Amino acid sequence: MKKIAVLGHGVVGSGVIEILMKNRRLLERQTGEAVEAAYILDRRAFPGLPYEDRLVQSIHPILEDSEVSVVLEAMGGVEPAFSWLSECIRQGKSVITSNKELVAEKGDILLALAAEKGVHFLFEASVGGGIPVLQPLRESLTANHITEVAGILNGTTNFILTRMFGEGAAFGEALGLAQELGYAEQDPTADVEGHDACRKICILASIAFGSHFYPREVHTQGITRISAADVAWAARWGGTVKLIGRARQAADGRAALEVAPMLVPNSCLLSQVSGVYNAVRVTGDMVGETMFYGPGAGKLPTASAVVGDLVTALTQPAGSRPLAWGPEKPGALQPWEESIAQRFLRVSGMDREELEAFYPGCRFLDGPEEGETALITAPATQGELDAAGQAAQAAGGRILSRITLLEDNR
Ligand code: HSE
């Protein structure tokens, strides 16, 4: 029998236990032995649970039990997860996590420590919920220079946008439902303000470009400023607005990362992704464009990815390949202001002729709104586009919204 421990009995942790019980025989066939969650750590009590006797409130019995070979973490947050998992690895235990904040902040350290100790550190569930994307990016696409990773990386905000603009729901109502369904973070500000998507694009970029990227260095904007008018304009133009995390290789070789609501053309598959679903577009120099799609949040989809990693840890040797990524390489990240983009703008108080002076080469969109003009700028750096916007406002224009355009790469 293989003894494992689960840290955290919240949405994901309880989902892991459910899968271990429901698919017990399948997992036994795949690992060659029964798998038992011998310890489930949570500060809360769960009276009446059939496995109540396995609940513990301290990490010590887990660390002290040398038969526990794999520890699954689904608590969230950097501490105490980082200290506890580091100690588990030092004790020779493989570690699996769904905790994107931890991986985005400390992934390089934990990867190096796990390699030194000859154990696994796996985190497929940290990006895209149940979608297999990290392992394909790391292994199946390894023959490619990755030129771009872009996607819908947060189920909660995609669920909210779909409900608000597809079904006319109010923001608070859509968010409340996402919380009830177990999609949202404990503090849903991390979803709504784009921080969760930012952690995920940092993890994807770290694998794609081999350097650790920190969320605090990435330009991040959430969904709170998207209006029904933006979505109506986008529909008339032939697209929609989605919260996108994107990491591109810039012409100078640096990586350009950002998280923001973007205007997505209908020709791009990402425009079709609705509800809690996520999708990640990975473009490589040899393969071209690939797409990974599936449920991006929720109990069983996320737990499915955790248990997939568990089977890997129980059946495959650790450390047979170079590290997924190493420490941050100075200068690897291109400042957002220098990245090239096109923007969709809605402006009032200025006519087309006046606007053209600030945005040479722009394309105007036709729409029925009285007193406002919409346009798509020519490509320029984000810094130049900001400066043009400030100059237009100083001359009496009022910018009602500014949304970066996501190109259809195909
Ligand atoms: N709050 C996250 C989301 C959970 O909505 O995508 C999955 O990481």
Task: Confirm or reject: Cβ of 123 under 6 Å from ligand 1.
Answer: no
Tokens standing for 43? 């500060």
Q: pLDDT digits over 233-256, tens only? A: 999 999 999 999 999 999 999 999
- Nearest ligand 1 atom, CA 197: 6
Q: pLDDT digits over 92-132, tens only? A: 999 999 999 999 999 999 999 999 999 999 999 999 999 99
Task: Confirm or reject: Cβ of 196 under 6 Å from ligand 1.
Answer: yes
Residue from 200, 242, 299, 329 carrying the catalytic annotation: 200
Q: pLDDT digits over 285-300, tens only? A: 999 999 999 999 999 9
Tokens standing for 340? 């090239």
Cβ atoms of residues 355 and 397 within 8 Å? yes
The rounded distance, in Å, linking the Cα atoms of 97 and 371 is 52
Q: What sign does the CA torsion over 205, 210, 216, 219 have?
A: negative
Q: Is 242 a catalytic residue?
A: no
Cβ atoms of residues 229 and 346 within 8 Å? yes
Q: Which of 333, 325, 330, 335 is nearest to 211 (CA)?
A: 325
- State residue 267 phi and psi, 5-degree precision: -70, -15
To test the pocket of ligand 1, the residue of 161, 181, 196 to mutate (highest count of ligand atoms within 8 Å of its CB) is 196
To test the pocket of ligand 1, the residue of 12, 131, 157, 191 to mutate (highest count of ligand atoms within 8 Å of its CB) is 191
- Nearest ligand 1 atom, CA 100: 8
Confidence of residue 45 (pLDDT cuts 50, 70, 90): very high
Q: Which residues, 6 or more positions from 35, have their beta carbon under 8 angstroms from its beta carbon?
A: 1, 2, 4, 20, 24, 27, 28, 310, 314
Task: Confirm or reject: Cβ of 154 under 6 Å from ligand 1.
Answer: yes
Task: Confirm or reject: Cβ of 258 under 6 Å from ligand 1.
Answer: no
Q: What average pLDDT does this structure show over 207-220?
A: 98
To test the pocket of ligand 1, the residue of 12, 101, 156 to mutate (highest count of ligand atoms within 8 Å of its CB) is 156
| pLDDT at residue 368, rounded to an integer | 65
Q: What average pLDDT does this structure show over 327-343?
A: 97
Task: Confirm or reject: Cβ of 284 under 6 Å from ligand 1.
Answer: no
- Is residue 409 pLDDT above 80, yes or no? no
Task: Confirm or reject: Cβ of 183 under 6 Å from ligand 1.
Answer: yes
Q: pLDDT digits over 258-315, tens only? A: 999 999 999 999 999 999 999 999 999 999 999 999 999 999 999 999 999 999 999 9
> pTM, whole model, 2 decimals?
0.97
Strands laid side by side in the 2-7 sheet: 55-56, 35-41, 2-7, 68-73, 94-97, 121-122
DSSP state of 329: P
Cβ atoms of residues 65 and 59 within 8 Å? no
Tokens standing for 191? 């979803």
Task: Confirm or reject: Cβ of 184 under 6 Å from ligand 1.
Answer: yes
Cβ atoms of residues 402 and 396 within 8 Å? no
Q: pLDDT digits over 155-212, tens only? A: 999 999 999 999 999 999 999 999 999 999 999 999 999 999 999 999 999 999 999 9
Task: Confirm or reject: Cβ of 42 under 6 Å from ligand 1.
Answer: no
How far is the centre of ligand 1, averaged over its atoms, from the C-alpha of 2 (Å)?
Answer: 30
How far is the centre of ligand 1, averaged over its atoms, from the C-alpha of 185 (Å)?
Answer: 6
| pLDDT at residue 321, rounded to an integer | 78
- Nearest ligand 1 atom, CA 125: 8
Q: pLDDT digits over 337-393, tens only? A: 999 999 999 999 999 999 999 999 999 998 766 789 999 999 999 999 999 999 999
- Nearest ligand 1 atom, CA 188: 1
